[in-house]
Amino acid sequence: MEVPVDKYFRLSPGAQVRLRYGFVIECTGFEKDSDGKILKIFCDYLPDTKSGTPGADAIKVKGNIHWLSCKYAVTAKVNLYDRLFKEAHPGENNNYLDDLNPDSLTIKEIKIEENLKDIKPGDQYQFERHGYFIADNLSVPQNIILNRTTTLRDNWQ
């Protein structure tokens, strides 16, 4: 975020964050296009902070960034399933069709790690912070489709 809001613990100018399983980096600047969209982010890394090495925790940061290499990332489609009904007891006060959740399926295109490029139907994975996924029966390496089977948090009230 170019101008971070209060309690923003991710990458912003002058801020330090840890790259997941990597080094602590500090944002030193960025490059924008003519429309003001950030194209590149410039950072310095602190060489003595690699995760898992002695002294890595000498610098405390509040933010950890999960990241992928753009050069090697693979495109996939994910089907994010949610509750079919928006009410705990559908149809209790009216027609149950009125209680259908219009957001029960969200489809997104994502980037995944290169080592998942040969995914096979039925293969199962946990994506940190997002839940558990299974490769769709129609999934092939040229068209990877993943279905979320469960989230990590349940926000049903």
- pLDDT, tens only, 99-135: 999 999 999 999 999 999 999 999 999 988 889 999 9
Domains of the chain, start order: 16-65 (2.40.240.10), 74-150 (2.40.240.10)
C-alpha to C-alpha distance for 106 and 102, rounded to whole angstroms: 9
How many other C-beta atoms can be found within 10 angstroms of the C-beta atom of residue 119? 22
Q: Across the chain, what does the average pLDDT equal?
A: 90
Q: 143 pLDDT band (50/70/90 cuts)?
A: very high
Please tell me the predicted confidence (pLDDT) of residue 6: 87
pLDDT exceeds 70 at position 61: yes
C-alpha to C-alpha distance for 62 and 50, rounded to whole angstroms: 16
pTM of the complete model: 0.71
Please tell me the predicted confidence (pLDDT) of residue 65: 87
Q: Is 136 left (phi over 0), alpha (psi -120 to 50) or beta?
A: beta
- The mean pLDDT of 32-43, rounded to a whole number, is 92
pLDDT exceeds 70 at position 155: no
- The mean pLDDT of 7-20, rounded to a whole number, is 88
pLDDT exceeds 90 at position 4: no
